[in-house]
Chains A and B, each alone.
Chain A
Amino acid sequence: MRVDISVQHEDFDAGAELADLRAASRSVGAVASFIGAVSDSNEQQRVSELELEHYPGMTERSIRGIAEQAGRRWELLAVRVIHRVGRLPVGAQIVLVGVASRHRGEAFAACEFIMDHLKTRAPFWKKERTDSGERWLDARASDAQAAARWSE
């Protein structure tokens, strides 16, 4: 299984990344992906931008661990994760998770598994700027529940 992880300030070309996943092997029959973006509102507040902090080194290592865990659970051909850091305006892409496999079932499930665990394990922190100032976001119980259901 091919695993590529990037943590970067720059934006990414999701189309080119998915084409690259499709070309990972002649056995690829399915590519599933998720893109997270900066929304203009959160908890009834208007958001102007997000700032993402991370723990360089541990971030990449943690995402790679999650991708490899997915690779032991499903038969995957390639995994691509890109996560942006720094200041991101409304509408910006934050994260891409792409998975290539032989069949769609594995690709869909692994994509969601990787995203659920990334949200609860990878050391990123979001600070939100709104009309009433800035605040660090709190972890959501619903994210912990989403990750926990994979171990049921």
Chain B
Amino acid sequence: MLTLRFFARLREQLETSQLAWPCCDNVEALIDSLQAQRGALWGELLRGANIVIAINQVVARRGQRLCDGDEVAFFPPVTGG
């Protein structure tokens, strides 16, 4: 299983902060599976041009391979400081 995490505006739009999800080959396949089971909004928001993806708390690319147990986070551009 993967642990999925969503933050800030994305967390509110998806009404989800954390989710356990079956493992997928890569982030692109993960988004396909979320879209198929949760609806088009998920695909649309998670493919947003600005959305940042982190795997195990390190910023990653959509094509990066996933392993069982990975933590995958999706979030909008950061605005701290």
> When A53-B7, A58-B54, A136-B9 are in contact, do A126 and B73 touch as well, CB less than 8 Å?
no
Q: Which B43-81 residues have C-beta < 8 A from chain A?
A: 50, 54, 57-59, 73, 75-81
Whether, in the assembled complex, A122 has its beta carbon less than 8 Å from a beta carbon of chain B, the answer is yes
Residues on A facing B (Cβ under 8 Å):
36, 52-55, 57-58, 61-62, 83, 94-95, 115, 118-127, 136-139, 143
Q: Is B8 an interface residue (CB 8 A)?
A: yes
B77 and A53: CB pair below 8 A? no
* Contact residues in B for A115 (Cβ distance below 8 Å): 81
Given A58-B58, A122-B81, A125-B80, 10 other A-B contacts at CB below 8 A? A55-B75, A62-B57, A83-B81, A119-B81, A123-B80, A124-B79, A125-B79, A138-B77, A139-B76, A143-B81
Question: Which of chain B's residues has its CB closest to A59's CB?
Answer: B80
A136 touches B76 (CB 8 A): yes
Q: Is B75 within 8 A of A118, CB to CB? A: no
A95 and B80 in contact (CB under 8 A), knowing A125-B8, A136-B9?
yes
Interface CB pairs A-B, < 8 A, 21: A36-B81, A55-B5, A55-B54, A61-B57, A62-B57, A94-B81, A95-B81, A118-B81, A119-B79, A119-B80, A122-B80, A123-B73, A123-B75, A125-B7, A125-B8, A125-B75, A125-B80, A126-B79, A138-B79, A139-B78, A139-B79
